[in-house]
Amino acid sequence: IQVGSFQEKENAIRLRARLRENNFKSYILSGKSSTGDWYRVFVGPLSSRSALKDIKLDIEKRFKVSGHIVRHRIEQDSEQLGG
């Protein structure tokens, strides 16, 4: 579940920390675009789509963010921001 996308790394780290404090397994993927560096915050991965939907709704309620269910691509693991 992608729960945020930030150009400021600190904002992504802050959201990941809040998610982890609430026991959500979360991570950050970094990437470049024509507008600069981006840091995307994700929760998961999970294989059950129904569980993903339930978690997405819970996160949206608790953190006032809009989540999107996306496919986890193992090849992107090399782009993870440590921590």
pLDDT at 72: 78
Tell me the Cα Rg of the chain.
Answer: 12
Backbone angles phi, psi at 15, to 5 degrees: -65, -45
Distance between CA atoms of residues 30 and 9, nearest Å: 9
Write the pLDDT tens digit of every residue in 45-72: 888 999 999 999 999 999 999 999 998 7
Element (H, E) at 78: none
Give yes or no for residue 83 having a pLDDT over 90. Answer: no
Please return the burial class of 59, using the count of CB atoms within 10 Å of its CB with bins 0-12, 13-18 and 19+: buried
More confident residue, 73 or 9: 9
Q: Tell which residue, 38, 37, 32, has the closest CA to residue 5.
A: 38
Band (pLDDT 50/70/90 cuts) for residue 78 is: low
Q: Average pLDDT of the chain?
A: 90
